[in-house]
Structure 1
């Protein structure tokens, strides 16, 4: 299970482990004000934070082939979490990426590096064809992630995901294997990212 891991500089990603639950729960609890505005919520009502149970479910999804739960690390210290979820095989062969990073690690390039590493794993080791990231229009730091990595803007999704207590609009961005024949990380670190790939058209901004 620990073969899906990758690193670049001080940043690394690896599969989540049961023993990570305590650290992850501590980071979630101490970063509430930082994370709550962007955190997925249950439209049927609040649920208690049980990271041990959440990790068990994530690992079961991994065993079932439905997702890949990573932790993001900086110099070996857990900085956040990145989930590849909604894996579809066959003619679709795609998945979606979601993530969160602790405030004390913000600005260190952890999220774009981790997204690049995870996308490359999905394309090369998992054989997926398309990776998607959906971002709230107000989430400027996440919009910078897709801009840096050159994820292509693909559309506006009204009331798409339940976030912070309400159904929120999202922009959708994606990459396919053909976009990055040498990998997302390689294209980014060698300056090959198209300057306007993630540009959101004015029509979407006013929707």
Structure 2
């Protein structure tokens, strides 16, 4: 079934929620501060350079795609502060029943476990509430930080896709990782990815 929108997912101080109009200043500041950190991994258009969409355009697009169940784009907030994004899309139903996951985190707050926890929250939702069978993540082999997220969450490495996505001016190779719902030991609510991450990587203090 298509996901409910607007969608809010939480784990202690971490929240995934839709981008809001009042987030504009904080979100734009976050993007500017992380431009160099993110540019080697951001998808680009091989045909032409497109201007970055305005905040209002992003809001309209995420609202439309979220309500249609085609793409979930969620702001990741830690202690109420915008800290990155986690997304699922395109979301495919029927025979494929799958989604591609994307994520990025503020460089200043990287290494604190926010990215894997945010991805785990969303994957649990996609499996338990949306009923998807499979998620995948495609990562440039050079992106060590992103590779660590996929491996911490026990996604299977499925191999190299050569010249797969246009990134930073050229078609780049990507490593593909995947996880299916039947590979996850779940609780009574059908969730298990976040619980496994917490058991393996977080101590009594919540540090990761």
Q: What TM-score does the superposition give when structure 1 sets the normalisation length?
A: 0.86
Within the candidate set 104, 125, 128, 2:129 is matched to 125
Tell me which residue corresponds to 2:120. 116
Deviation at 1:56, TM superposition (A): 1.6
- Count residues in correspondence: 192
Deviation at 1:67, TM superposition (A): 0.8
Deviation at 1:54, TM superposition (A): 2.5
CA RMSD of aligned residues (A): 1.7
Please give the alpha-carbon distance, in whole angstroms, between the structure 2 residues aligned to 1:95 and 1:19: 29
Q: For structure 1, which segment, 25-34 or 76-85, has the greater mean C-alpha deviation from structure 2 after superposition?
A: 25-34
In structure 2, stretches of 5+ residues that fail to align are: 187-191, 202-208
Deviation at 1:27, TM superposition (A): 1.2
Tell me which residue corresponds to 1:77. 81
In structure 1, stretches of 5+ residues that fail to align are: 193-207
Cα deviation code 1:142-186 (max 9, x no counterpart): 110011110111121111111111111101101111111311011
Tell me which residue corresponds to 2:60. 56
Tell me which residue corresponds to 1:198. none
Within the candidate set 178, 184, 187, 2:193 is matched to 184
Please give the alpha-carbon distance, in whole angstroms, between the structure 1 residues aligned to 2:131 and 2:26: 31
SS at match of 2:130: coil
2:14–2:118 CA contact under 8 A, matched in 1 = yes
1:123–1:177 CA contact under 8 A, matched in 2 = yes
1:96–1:133 CA contact under 8 A, matched in 2 = yes
Please give the alpha-carbon distance, in whole angstroms, between the structure 1 residues aligned to 2:170 and 2:127: 33
Q: What TM-score does the superposition give when structure 2 sets the normalisation length?
A: 0.86
